Structure 1
Amino acid sequence: MLRGLGAFVVRSAEGSVVAPVCAAHASSLELGRFRHVRIPDILTCESNVDIAAPGRPAITARYPAGSASRSGAFRSFRPGSWGLPGVDFFISHAGRDRAWAEWVAWHLHDAGYTVELDTWDWAAGDNFVTKMAAALDGAERVVALFSPAYFEPQRYTTDEWASAFVHDEQQRPRLLPLVVEECEPPQLLRPLIAQKLFGLDEDQARKALLDAARGPKRPDGRPEFPPSAQARGQEAGSRPRVPGSPPAVWNVPGRNSDFTGRDGVLVPLRERLLSCKNTQVLHGIGGVGKTQLAIEYAHGFAAGYDLVWWIDSERTGLISEQFAALAVAAGLVGTNTDHTAAELAVRKYFRENSRWLLVFDNAEDPDAVRPWLSGAAGHVLITSRNPAWNEIGTRTEVQEFQRQESIALLRSRQPALADAEADRLADELGDLPLALAQAGGTLAETGLSVPEYLRLLESRTNDVLNEKPPSSYPTSLAAAVRVSMERLAADEPAAVALLQVCAMFAPEPIPTGWLSKPEALPDELAKVAGDPLAFGKLVARIGRIGLARVGNATIRLHRLVRSVIRDQLSVDRRNALHTSAEALLAGVVPGSTEDPAAWPEWARLLPHLVEVDPATTENERLRSLACDAALYLLRRGDVTSAMPFVRRLYERWRDRIGPDDVHTLTAANEVAHSHFQLGEYHEAHALIEDTLPRWQENFGDNHVGTLRSWNDLAVILGKLGQYALACEAQEAVWEKRRYLLGEDHPETLYAMTNLANVLNSSDEELRARELHETAWGKYRHVLGDDHPYVLRAMNSLARALASTGEVLRARELCEEAWEKSREMLGEEHPDVLDLMANSAYVCEELGDFEEACRLWREAWQRYRRVLGESHPDALLAEANLGVALIRANRSPQARPLLADVHERQRAIFGFDHPDVMRTYSWLAIALYRVGKVARARRVADTVMAGYRRNFGENSYQMRQTVEHLRPILQAKSRPAKRR
């Protein structure tokens, strides 16, 4: 070891000291953090060297002959090559700044540093979060490329710079900030000295980058005299360009300073172009930002091209003229050369060179563009409303903004906009970039609040969306729609009519099969709708003009385009089109509401049904369809959506067509059903008590609606604890359905199962089990093994079996039904929650109390989340959890739980409800188990009085309660302690 030269030395394989390592590098030679060593040029022929430190093992690395640079940089020591962890630099960047990231990474690598860059080093399928965490942890320093995109709050870059902002163990800063675009960093980062790279030529930018990487140092010699600005400009013209600097041949429109987001399009677009997919097409509806994307791409990756030319392609006759201008600008021909010669020169240049980008903006006709692409070796980018470019290039549909992108754009115009207001505005504008830009400009200019703007948007859509567009867009949204409709009217009046009909529907995909019914369409469209080939061409024509998305046999209008079209209609025309839309929807047959296979079609129909508002319709078929739609929502378990929908139907129809109309009564049934699923049993009972007599009086006892209302009454009475009345009503319904529908009809079996459920709560458990067994067998025969009714019957049978001692078979049935129901209905459907609760009950009967506690707790939490904390089913699950805790010898935990449940159940049902008294009886057991004998006896006496009052001294319920509370009733209170 040479004195005074630091604690580390470099040794050859033979063990001799080859060179000391200066003390300045000692800190970088800690094991696990070795980065870069400087040694004299005399070592260029060494083959193997060791790096050793006192008390530490040597690290051997190969030093290839001739690999040292003049500066003495020992560049062969690369952690990735010799198993040493970490790298010198991890490049943190926004996806939109990929060109800068690659430029910085390349020059750092060329200077001898080790670099990790996601686009170079992370493979498809890697876990992004894991890779980023490892890179941040292992890198000596993090290069942060500052730009407006880098500081957008939704990006991972925030986590990256925040992680790198802290110093390392040697108190050295880890974050190396480089500014690649003018921006305002967050307050925390503003004190940092950030090296500016943009606006410099390549040599200057490279020097600035490497100076920043090395850190500050004093000059080795006398600084050069600074050149003049003019000299710098002349010199830069012959040198390579840094990212963002345009080539000499360039006519791209100015960059949009408010451009935000779109990494999900820009980065893959760049990757595809670099992977030899030379022609890329950005297509989408008008106003979605295709042109802005193309402009941003051209500016962002300008340094990769020697020529970038923008061609306005909407008027195809002017394309040739723009190519002639390109030939002149590129110096390929003189100014007086005719167009033919200019075109030949351009084509020759395109064949012989590859570093060029051609943008065809707003191109609608593939045949007009195709001739210019023959033999092209560079990159072509096309923007179009027309999606029919399959044979030309790789298509990318440009969608509306993601919500965070919408909010960022609105905030760029209105920085003070609150999150909730920006979110609401973006939602109403459908995240359409043009509409967002217009809204932001209008709010900034007029000072309107968001609620005021939205009120105007609803009442005066055309006026609001016809406001002056932002400078980055050529025309307003309303004007663009109007012009497109006028052009279409001149060529295809039937296409205009089709768009107008679609505007009456919701802004969701509309199956074209719904629209091809001539009898329900306006005259100008009816003629075409009867011819499938002509109608298909009409739909394709709509897709080409960009007013709607067409594909997968559907048409979809953006909500604002739809609103503009509607707002431009006369009152009479709008009313006629609304009637057409009602007739079209009334003809849709989605399938049975009981069949999950039909639910996707119901889900597709529902938003359009809501849009035409069946509460106001005169179309009776549409009213029936609306009632079925409410039933679909209830069958799917979505009662929170069903209730407001069907309540509006019921209230409006009751007032308009009377309380005794068949549709009003049907809607009343579904409102009562909704109350029932929400746990509002008293409200459901009151409505059914009013509705059932109306059914009977107007339609008789045998009408399907009457029987449904009667069945609902029986089920509700059972939930209210009125078992005798419930049993009587359910027996009557079952008998009626057997007589009218037959023994094996699903509705008959449904009534049979409901009767068995009531009997299971009385002293007829064996009859209940027999009925459940019969119902399940018949259901399977009629509906198959996997229908929801069959699985529900399996659940009920499993409960009955467990109650009568056949616990092992109960568990088998319950597990099978639970697995199938979860797969079919999802984890949080009420039927699935009931099966989870039933599984917990079966576990109790098997003596597996800990598993029962786990299942009851999970069922309780899910009931609370799905149905609400005070739903009777949630409270019952909580009470059952308390019971399971007692049976698992955890009474101290059960006691407060049961006391809380009892109070909340009592507030809903009163004390005399069986569920309330049952919970109170178990609270008595919990009190007894924790030594509160006297209090347990008082609670037990109260429970006994309640059962005696409601069921009688010799009732089944009373006998069960006496047996349950026997230990308490026989116990003697402990004597009171003397004071």
Structure 2
Amino acid sequence: MSGARTPVGPTERGAAKQTVTISFAGFNRAWAAWIGDRLERRGHRVVYQRWDSPAEEPLVDLLRDLMLAQGRILIIVSEWYFQLGPRTHDEWNSALREVIAPDPTRFAAVSVTTVPVPTATTVLGAVELNNMGADEAERRVLDRLDLPADPLPESAEGTRRGPRFPAAMPEVWGGVPRRNTRFTGREPLLNDAYHLLQGAESGAGVVTLHGMSGVGKTQLAAEYVYRFGSEYDVVWWVNAEKRVTYRRRLAELAPQLGLSTGAEYGERLRAVRDSLRRGDPYARWLLILDGADEPDQIYDLVPTGPGHVLITSRNPEWSEHNSKLLEVPVYDRDESVAFIRRRAPRLSEPEADQLAEALEDLPLLLDQTAGWLNDSDLSVQEYIALLEGGIDQDVVKISADFPVAFQTAWSILLNKLRDTVPESVDLLRLCTFFAPGFIPVRLLKEMPHDELPEQIAGLLNDPLLWNKAINQLRQYSVVRLESHETATDEITSSGESLYLHRMVHQIVRKDMPDEDRAEFIEVVRRALAAADPRRPTDTRLWTGYAEIVPHLKHADVLQSKDPAVQSLVFNCLRYMYISGEYRAGIKLGERALKAWRKLLGENHPRIWELTHHYANLLRAVGDYQRTETIERAAVDHLREQRGEHDLDYSRAVGGLAADLRGLARYDEALELSQQLLVTYRGLLGEQDSRTQGAQNNLAVSLRLLGRYGEALNADRQTMEARRLLLRARHPWTLNSENSYATDLRLLGRYTEATSIQTKNVRENRIVMGEDRPQTLDAEHNLALCRYRTGDRAAAGPMLARVLERCERVLGEADPQTLRFATSTSCFAREHGDIDQARELGESVVARYEVMLAEGHPYIAGVRANHALVLRSVGERDHAHVLIEQSLADMTEAVGERHPWTLGCAINAAALRNLVGDPEGAAELSKQAVARATEALGRTHPLTLSARVALAADLRALRDRQQAEKVEQEALSDLAATLGEQHVHTISARSRNRPYWDFEPQST
């Protein structure tokens, strides 16, 4: 060997540190990164050279250019290296012989494939790296490069954490689609995504791949995972098209991370997000959110932390939610040509270019068309003639997302499917009556097959025909198998879980003949009805409803007269109400009323049942005036048509009473509740669930009227009866238990209330789930119980957490959110941030003013709370005017002896003192003490607060003797009632004037 070549020839073992250029196909980037890392740890210089092979450049010239690289050239041999271009094996053999054979010492190689490669690659002397561990692979690489393989010192191994050995999977791996062995191009996008994520600060590593339907966003994300996944400890793929699916799939990560949680997915979801945020037990995680087209639905659930999030979406609005955007365009023409020739090897390069031009370089369409065209005798020119109008002269764009040619291309493809396996077209058309995306086709196989159309029954009953249809659709990339952690290989291979692209879904559905449409949609409706768990109050069955609900619209169930399908609609509405999916339920209810009035007539019995469910959902979001109009019309009609002993009439009366409670017409609501309870007892007896429900609602009316003792008795009876009739952990039983604890708290029996409510929260979490409205309500009650017992350290964080979750689940303007925000504002005023208290309080006042009519006690109450905030920031005159107005409004709304009015009076007396009216303050305090003693008793906490306040007002008038007497008696009763060391007792002893916080109640 000549001296000039020596520096770049093989090294002697132990020689100086070397330069190695690694040449690799992008597909094998993970191997290049690992090998380079092992060399750099030993002090060698590494240059990375991603191999590209543009078809227009001679392969010989490309290889000669490669020889200009520094040092030894290490080629990572795989089929990908030789397929780029694409090039034939003959081309490669010729080029290898001409360029590399004369001077093979410049090159070394490792093989990471078991697929045949050009025979002339033997000149590279590749060593095998398959089917071995990392240590042996490293030894072989070093040996092939003639570098010493001495063990590294520990200091060199521990300096940094390098890429994982590519043959080793990440510690946690789930849901990732199979690798697309025909993936082509996209190198700049893959590199840009990698650098954006790697360069992001902790908590901000979010990148969204966005673009129109069919450009290959999902395939690009999957390829990213396979190229860079070895750098992560956790790789988790999530279908993010719907919030409920996203939540459940992310929650399934909990056991994979080794997190100790209960079985309920809400609890698991919170644990997963916390684990990812902390990076414990894994800091290097990658989460892929596929199909996240509605950022508003899930942006609040995107984890933050040291890991990375990769999103695919048609929606560029992710830029508003802490995400970098990468637009995924259609293929560049050279990418299109390379892809088509890989997909359809029989086509020449010019033919591939013509086809790409005709199909506008859209990857999904290229994939499907080239797949079947390769098996067809049709020439590209003939196919393009068809696209240009040979089949359908009226081709139009059906969506801004779709190229003009797409519908015609689909007509051709459907004809091909129909000619080969006609059942595949039947299956595909059935799928379009589910929502696009994940298609639960197992529901078709699980339904009763009696009375099905002949061709559908044959498809569903014959496993061989089923698999043949599935495989035909897969062959042409019409559907893909959806990977699920819970699915076995057997289930997945039989096509139980399919993914249908939104674009394909829309085209196939539009293309369908009317007679097939009518037949197939009925099959899917019956499949959904057969899948109905039929018990929407059983939380254990909610996963079934969560799976069904997204498909109701696409199956157009509201046009069905089938009683089973209509019962499914009712059960879904009930599920949505109990689980807190109010907004979605309202939309379904509105559509159902409009459709069924036309389908069934204005006064059909099912219309009144539908009205009941719809009004429940509207009432849940605080639309009381609208629900009162709806329920009153139902009451009047049913009374006239069926009489007052009809059960549908009684149910409508119960709904009207609830509306009246929302409108603060408490006396009217109480009267209706009392009448209804008598009616149910007479018609159904004491042990019927409807009787118990009426008794529960009677207690709600009593509580709103401030008659806490009577409410307690009614709630106790309901709770005990429900434990006997239902079960201890039934949602309704738990609701009664929560109400009972609330009554105890409002009566000042704080220790008892806290004990019961602690258990109630634990069981609600198990039964209902972490973020359901009933669980949130129970946690809020427990926070207030702890606050009243003096455990402020526990109460504050609980109030903040439950408010944050309620805002996320139900929205900022929901009645439940406003109740929680009121409590949180009051706590912040006394024990936190006064600015936060003011901001939150003003927001609550504004939202109640929009939701409720002027004069409503809730508006008066939250204004009274806000007056205390103004007092705390020194705006005394403003505070005084506001509290006096609130007192007048509250008195007008609920009467002078209601606890809410008495609380306003206590606060108003304090403000009168501050603005220099001690006489007015003392007079108001005396009235409050007298009325509170009469209404609530001498030792109720509100009465005790009034007595302590009166002592302060008497001192302000210099009536020290009377003040001393009132104070000592109040302190004695406080110690006896709440305890010597209770915070209220200690505060009164320190002569801190008490204030009252208004707490809106559930109606």
- In which range does the TM-score fall when normalised by the shorter chain? 0.5 to 0.7
> Which one of 562, 566, 569 corresponds to residue 626 of structure 1?
569
Contact 2:21 2:72 in 1 (8 A): no
Answering whether residue 942 of structure 2 is matched by residue 942 of structure 1, we say: no
Answering whether residue 470 of structure 2 is matched by residue 543 of structure 1, we say: yes
**Deviation string, structure 1 residues 470-491 (Cα, Å, up to 9, x no partner):** xxxxxxx6645543332224xx
> Which one of 829, 832, 840 corresponds to residue 772 of structure 2?
829
Contact 1:181 1:198 in 2 (8 A): no
**Deviation string, structure 1 residues 785-819 (Cα, Å, up to 9, x no partner):** 22222222221111111111221221122222222
Deviation at 1:972, TM superposition (A): 5.8
Answering whether residue 34 of structure 2 is matched by residue 180 of structure 1, we say: no
> Which one of 292, 295, 312 corresponds to residue 182 of structure 2?
292
**Deviation string, structure 1 residues 870-924 (Cα, Å, up to 9, x no partner):** 3333333222223324454976764565355334423432442111112222334
How many percent identity over aligned positions?
19
Deviation at 1:614, TM superposition (A): 2.2
Q: How does 1:508-523 map to 2 (within 5 A)?
A: 508-512=439-443, 516-523=447-454
Deviation at 1:711, TM superposition (A): 2.0
| Letter of the 2:542 counterpart | W
> Which one of 456, 459, 464 corresponds to residue 398 of structure 2?
456
TM-score w.r.t. the length of structure 1 is 0.56
Contact 2:867 2:879 in 1 (8 A): yes
Other structure's SS at 1:814 match: helix
When Rg is computed on C-alpha atoms for both structures, the one with the higher figure is 1
Q: Give, in whole Å, the separation in 2 of the partners of 1:626 and 1:412.
A: 41
Other structure's SS at 2:329 match: helix
Q: Give, in whole Å, the separation in 2 of the partners of 1:710 and 1:499.
A: 48
- Aligned-residue Cα RMSD (Å) equals 5.3
Aligned in 2, Cα 1:579/1:869: closer, same or farther, shift over 3 Å? closer
Structure 2, unpaired ranges of 5+: 1-10, 55-60, 75-94, 120-133, 138-162, 170-174, 191-288, 293-309, 315-325, 334-358, 372-384, 389-393, 482-489, 919-1003
Q: Give, in whole Å, the separation in 1 of the partners of 2:739 and 2:23.
A: 61
Aligned in 2, Cα 1:737/1:511: closer, same or farther, shift over 3 Å? farther
> Which one of 828, 841, 846 corresponds to residue 784 of structure 2?
841
Q: How does 1:141-290 map to 2 (within 5 A)?
A: 178-182=48-52, 199=63, 207=71, 232-235=99-102, 242=109, 250=117, 290=180
**Deviation string, structure 1 residues 652-694 (Cα, Å, up to 9, x no partner):** 2224433322233333223322222222222222322233323
Answering whether residue 15 of structure 2 is matched by residue 97 of structure 1, we say: no
Other structure's SS at 2:533 match: coil
Structure 1 equivalent of residue 634 of structure 2:
691
**Deviation string, structure 1 residues 211-254 (Cα, Å, up to 9, x no partner):** xxxxxxxxxxxxxxxxx9996454157985657999997579xx
Answering whether residue 604 of structure 2 is matched by residue 643 of structure 1, we say: no
Answering whether residue 659 of structure 2 is matched by residue 745 of structure 1, we say: no
Deviation at 1:740, TM superposition (A): 3.3
Answering whether residue 659 of structure 2 is matched by residue 716 of structure 1, we say: yes
Other structure's SS at 1:551 match: helix
| Letter of the 1:488 counterpart | V
Aligned in 2, Cα 1:572/1:251: closer, same or farther, shift over 3 Å? farther
Q: Give, in whole Å, the separation in 2 of the partners of 1:679 and 1:886.
A: 26
Q: How does 1:29-40 map to 2 (within 5 A)?
A: none
Aligned in 2, Cα 1:463/1:716: closer, same or farther, shift over 3 Å? same
> Which one of 779, 796, 812 corresponds to residue 853 of structure 1?
796
Deviation at 1:519, TM superposition (A): 3.5
Contact 2:580 2:810 in 1 (8 A): no
Contact 1:917 1:943 in 2 (8 A): yes
**Deviation string, structure 1 residues 594-649 (Cα, Å, up to 9, x no partner):** 11111122222223332121222233432232122122122221112212122111
Aligned in 2, Cα 1:974/1:941: closer, same or farther, shift over 3 Å? closer
Aligned in 2, Cα 1:436/1:401: closer, same or farther, shift over 3 Å? farther
Structure 2 equivalent of residue 113 of structure 1:
43
Q: Give, in whole Å, the separation in 2 of the partners of 1:557 and 1:700.
A: 52
Aligned in 2, Cα 1:704/1:558: closer, same or farther, shift over 3 Å? farther
Structure 2 equivalent of residue 792 of structure 1:
735
Contact 1:457 1:464 in 2 (8 A): no
Aligned in 2, Cα 1:860/1:91: closer, same or farther, shift over 3 Å? farther
Structure 1, unpaired ranges of 5+: 1-66, 76-87, 115-140, 144-176, 185-196, 211-227, 253-266, 278-282, 301-398, 416-428, 468-476
Aligned in 2, Cα 1:291/1:248: closer, same or farther, shift over 3 Å? closer
- Indicate the structure whose relative CO is greater, using CA pairs within 8 Å and at least 6 residues apart: 2
Answering whether residue 523 of structure 2 is matched by residue 580 of structure 1, we say: yes
Q: How does 1:398-797 map to 2 (within 5 A)?
A: 410-413=328-331, 434-435=364-365, 456=398, 464-467=406-409, 479-489=412-422, 497=426, 500-507=429-436, 508-512=439-443, 516-526=447-457, 534-547=461-474, 549=481, 551=491, 554=496, 556=498, 558-559=500-501, 566=509, 569-797=512-740
**Deviation string, structure 1 residues 9-55 (Cα, Å, up to 9, x no partner):** xxxxxxxxxxxxxxxxxxxxxxxxxxxxxxxxxxxxxxxxxxxxxxx
Deviation at 1:454, TM superposition (A): 10
| Letter of the 2:772 counterpart | H
Contact 1:843 1:852 in 2 (8 A): yes
Contact 2:857 2:889 in 1 (8 A): no
Q: Give, in whole Å, the separation in 1 of the partners of 2:898 and 2:101.
A: 107
Q: Give, in whole Å, the separation in 2 of the partners of 1:624 and 1:755.
A: 29
Q: Give, in whole Å, the separation in 2 of the partners of 1:835 and 1:851.
A: 15
Deviation at 1:97, TM superposition (A): 1.4
Other structure's SS at 1:732 match: helix
Aligned in 2, Cα 1:692/1:409: closer, same or farther, shift over 3 Å? same
Deviation at 1:722, TM superposition (A): 1.5
Aligned in 2, Cα 1:621/1:435: closer, same or farther, shift over 3 Å? same
Q: Give, in whole Å, the separation in 2 of the partners of 1:102 and 1:934.
A: 72
Contact 2:631 2:655 in 1 (8 A): yes
| Letter of the 2:468 counterpart | R
Aligned in 2, Cα 1:453/1:909: closer, same or farther, shift over 3 Å? farther
Contact 1:406 1:433 in 2 (8 A): no
Aligned in 2, Cα 1:745/1:536: closer, same or farther, shift over 3 Å? farther
Deviation at 1:579, TM superposition (A): 3.1
Deviation at 1:436, TM superposition (A): 7.5
Contact 2:738 2:760 in 1 (8 A): yes
| Letter of the 1:757 counterpart | V
Contact 2:712 2:744 in 1 (8 A): yes
**Deviation string, structure 1 residues 936-971 (Cα, Å, up to 9, x no partner):** 443333223223323344556544543454434566
Q: Give, in whole Å, the separation in 2 of the partners of 1:513 and 1:581.
A: 7
Contact 2:750 2:788 in 1 (8 A): yes
Contact 1:461 1:564 in 2 (8 A): no
Number of aligned residue pairs:
647
**Deviation string, structure 1 residues 804-852 (Cα, Å, up to 9, x no partner):** 1221221122222222323443433222221222122212211234543
Q: Give, in whole Å, the separation in 2 of the partners of 1:546 and 1:248.
A: 26
Q: Bigger CA drift: 899-908 or 757-766?
A: 899-908
| Letter of the 2:331 counterpart | R
Contact 1:509 1:555 in 2 (8 A): yes
